[in-house]
Amino acid sequence: MHRFTGKSVLVTGAGSGLGRAIALAFAAEGASVVASGRTAATLDETVERIEAAGGTAAAVTADVTDSGQVRELVAASVTRFGGLHIAVNNAGILRGAGRVGEVREEDWEAVLRTNVTGVWLAMKHEIAHMREHGGGTIVNIASNLGAHLRIPNAAAYITSKAAVSALTRAAALDHIHQGIRINAVSPGAAAAPMSLRPGESEADRAERMKSENPLGRVAEAEEVAAAVLYLASPMAGAVVGTDLVIDSGASA
């Protein structure tokens, strides 16, 4: 399939995990991909993988918590590939484990700044371009932890991702009349580093998932990427403001 031939796609947090899988998936279907994140070396690896498979990509470092850097990121994406048709706001962090009353203020602020304000800033600058150039599509990466599922000792992350889900719906209603279609994907435990507990191996995680998830396993990164590509594709043309959960049944 080449659903995205001729399209320019920006993926934040593309240096590893789900972001890398999403970038690879878009490139495999013909898109020109800007892989963004804070670490040049990991972004370069993502681009190398895309190019080795015959795709087209460029790496642009940026911190989504800095409005000026995000503005420059969008401008660089447009300059590099002649436009910005699709954006996937995936960058996020997981910090601040512990009960609500024990979370350090600096961890709370860092998580909210990256996971919520970072998504808002990304959309702000992406939308500014898209509404002047015929519209576009945005997919935000939330989480099943938040709007769909709560667990102990993860209040900062849960709060941030619930906010991404709500922000996505609000933005979808605000901008659909400008031709900008906005949705979210909420992964659960997936085959990515963030789902590993401290000191846990992939084999340990696989064993844990046998009892924690109804499906008995984590979602593959490619399965999450497939959901993102669906929401970004013309086949989802009537899907506006949804939050698609991909979590192996954990929040069912």
pLDDT tens-digit series, residues 204-246: 888 898 888 899 998 999 999 999 999 999 999 999 999 999 9
Nearest to 62 by CA among 31, 27, 91, 86: 91
- List pLDDT tens digits, range 92-111: 999 988 899 999 999 999 99
Q: How far apart are CA 133 and CA 126, in angstroms?
A: 11
DSSP 116: I
Report pLDDT for 204: 87
Nearest to 85 by CA among 124, 128, 134, 121: 134
Averaged pLDDT for residues 81-95: 97
- List pLDDT tens digits, range 118-135: 999 999 999 999 999 999
**Is residue 194 pLDDT above 90, yes or no?**
no
**20 Cβ neighbours under 8 A, 6+ residues apart:** 14, 35, 42, 46, 49, 221
Query: What does CATH list as the number for 8-239?
Result: 3.40.50.720
> What DSSP string runs through 51-99?
HHTT-EEEEEE--TT-HHHHHHHHHHHHHHHS---EEEE--------B-
**Is residue 1 pLDDT above 80, yes or no?**
no
Nearest to 22 by CA among 66, 113, 86: 86
Catalytic-labelled residue, pool 157, 168, 171, 224: 157
Mean of all residue pLDDT scores within the chain: 96
The structural domains of the chain, with segments of one domain joined by +, span 8-239
Residue 230 appears among annotated catalytic residues: no
Longest CA pairwise span in the chain (Å): 50
Q: How far apart are CA 128 and CA 78, in angstroms?
A: 12
Q: How far apart are CA 138 and CA 136, in angstroms?
A: 7
Residue with tokens 């435990």: 189
**Is residue 64 pLDDT above 80, yes or no?**
yes
> What DSSP string runs through 123-181?
HHHHHHHHTTTT-EEEEEE--SBTTTB--TTBHHHHHHHHHHHHHHHHHHHHHGGGTEE
